[in-house]
Amino acid sequence: MSERLQTGDTAPDFTLPDADGNDVSLSARRGRKVIVYFYPAALTPGCTKQACDFTDNLQLLADAGYDVIGVSPDKPEKLAKFREKEDLKVTLVGDPSKEVLTAYGAFGEKKLYGKTVTGVIRSTVVVDEEGKVERALYNVKATGHVAKIIKDLGI
């Protein structure tokens, strides 16, 4: 199982393709705070609710100095369908190799309906302007999570 990040750790840099196949890098966002959230699969009910919540609050988060990047193991084509179907405004990137998911501690063993399985652990990492982990939240709920982040960050 991959190591979970802790407050103060350097957030692993990444460059991943977005829904249009363009590269998105964490390092390109230096100087801004970034909320990186990890979700299991596009076009599923929980992940749709979470992505819609982020989209609905994107302006509020941006005004507070936060960018939002959603990471899943999906390929860009599926991300594009997800974005179009749900009218998402949040940046979605794909990590089919699961290297970034693993580097962030967001891939490994988890409980699913009482069974232990290996997969994406729904997680959120808040990265500060210098690329350090401000908070790392694991096993978060899809519903209500965005409201909790906004409250916790004092926005």
Structure letter (DSSP) for residue 29: G
Reduce the DSSP state of residue 50 to 3 states and report it: helix
Which element (helix H / strand E) includes 37?
strand 33-38
CA 94 – CA 101 distance, rounded (Å): 10
Among residues 36, 42, 47, 68, the one annotated as catalytic is 47
What burial class does residue 126 get, using C-beta atoms within 10 Å of its C-beta: 0-12 exposed, 13-18 middle, 19+ buried? buried
Instruction: Note if 52 is an active site residue.
Output: no
What is the C-alpha radius of gyration for the chain, rounded to an integer number of angstroms? Answer: 14
Tokens read off for 135: 């908070």
CA 19 – CA 93 distance, rounded (Å): 6
Reduce the DSSP state of residue 28 to 3 states and report it: helix
* Residues annotated as catalytic (active site), given as ranges: 47
